[in-house]
Structure 1
Amino acid sequence: MNHGPDDLSSTGEFDSDELALRRMLQQAVQEMEPRDGTLDHLRKAVPARRARKRQAVVGMAAAALFFGTAIPAVVHVSSTGTSANTSNAGHASQTQGGAGQGKEEEGGESTSGGSAGKPEDKGKGESKDADKGKSAGASTGASSGTDPSTSTAASAAVCTAVQLGTPTATTAVPDASGTVYGTFHITNGSTAACTVSGPGIVTPAAQGAADASKISALRHVSGDVASAGLPDPSQEVAQLLLQPGSSYDVKFAWVPTETCPTSEPSTDPSPDPTTSPDASSSEGSSTGGDTGTSTQLLTEDGTTDGSVLVTNTAEGGGPSVSTTVSNACAGVVYWTGLLTSS
């Protein structure tokens, strides 16, 4: 049953101001009417909105259920997979070793009972022994050849003078500029390998009319005046493992800086034939008796006879080998480092 404003006022539920406001509102909307079709729209829209709400609620519930079941399943699968791999590995080793059969394999090892892991340990030990054998064989093969260039590591004792035996030295004829090239050839004459750690030292010595103050020795460097005939320093090695019968070389070049002096032929009259031959020969054979210096001999063209003795002393003090460069009075000896023998 609907009550009008008068009825509400009689009940005492609203005061006069509230009743006046209600009348104003009713008067403002009493002429308003809904559009055509509004009721049909509401009949369709309200059920559709309720259906969408139900679908949203169902979707959220399904998502929550999925996450609630998927995460524990993943954790369970991962833990189960680890344990399965461990058990499978144990089972595989047990099957491979024949733990359930109690039989001996080809190597004679029994794998019955709790010793299923021992054959695997033994296999590891055998592989380590095989690796050691391979490395030992490789090092032995590296030092078993006869070519000293196969290894430069100091894997043997330093060569002694006895092991290096008797070296040899050779010189070539002078080239167009007067340069003389030579080689010192040193061989390991012992039955044991030894290490050569350097070329030793090369020293020149003046002989005859050669002037010692004008003779020197220098190590060969790339681009010096002896580069035309001496190998480049890049071919030198710091040390060599010299096998029995193997050799190494040290090369040198004599580069003259001056020619030997010349002397005018003697104007003294010929000796008296009656003079004792012994006296004349003794006068020309010595200049100072106890000094030991020989007189300067002249060649047919009047050039004073001088030469240089070039000596190589191996590393460690021996052995030594020398060769003579003739018609040499002033110059420089350029010498190389340690070279593998070709």
Structure 2
Amino acid sequence: MHARIVVDRPGFRLDVALTAAPGEVVALLGPNGAGKTTALRALAGLVPFTEGHLRLDGTALERTPPEARPVGVVFQDYLLFPHLSALDNVAFGPRCQGATKAEARARAAAWLERMGLADHAGAKPRRLSGGQAQRVALARALAVRPRLLLLDEPLAALDARTRLEVRAGLRRHLADFEAVAVLVTHDPLDAMVLADRLVVVEHGRAVQEGTPSGIARRPRTDYIARLVGLNLYRGQADGHAVRLAAGPSVVTTEVLSGPVFVAFPPSAVTLFRDRPAGASARNLWRCEVAGLETHGDQIRADLTGELPLAADLTTVAAAELDLRPGAPVWATVKATQTHAYPA
């Protein structure tokens, strides 16, 4: 697939280029309003291109009506036909493509078997769990043998426990899919688990693209840094020292020159109520606690001051430090726990 998707709307312009090889899963990741779903709907033919192109297997599709595109779509709320059984929901696509009723039902039964839903073939959507409905929707999309599979927040409607199970199953099905799959999500874990490559979209533009591990290691915007749980800063490097735009310097182990990013996880930050004497950390800043929140099994402290940052610590440590909004603290980070890379 080769695409450049340009869609103009009042006060908003989407302009994103996408490429994908057969068998590749590409995730569009970004905040609400970034343009991810608009891009997906444009690929499906549900939103017209203002400019750009869509070529799939060498065929131009940007002016092709939705029903004539070799595209399967799994919508966020699945959109199963409530009056049809699971079997007939899946058979609907093949029937529209000209298959006989028997052929369509045979193909649908094979897909339900593959999804582990053979025992639910006769069930109407209202009798299916969220995870079962998601798998029926996926089977319905795959039964038309698409060359492009589009998934719009396919796990968003599931509870946390079901989501874990269905995510693992969806990954297995996508691994077997021989054509191109494009996934839209705002959940970084869905993107990291399901996708081979991420395209991060903000304000209608692609701001970073790469493998999940590469993007997690080298975020280039505050949004991405927050997603992967890193403190991120931009500055000018001169050897081991990076002078940040925010004011202070950060000492790193890398030797660089020119514009760079510096990142470190909140877990790398150590807090003290008094200025530490003889601390081994090369980076030391005076801060103030702006807020505290539970983050997993730890407490995350939002700090302002010389360097705004997030710090993770145990509940016991937070209690011993008597942390509360407005409390002054000293924050240290070892140079070996920072990571600097060219901007």
Please give the range of the TM-score, normalised by the shorter of the 2 chains. under 0.3
Structure with the bigger percentage of helix: 1
Q: Specify which structure has the bigger relative contact order, considering alpha-carbon pairs within 8 angstroms and separated by 6 or more residues.
A: 1
TM-score of the superposed pair, with normalisation by structure 1: 0.21
**Greater Rg by CA:** 1
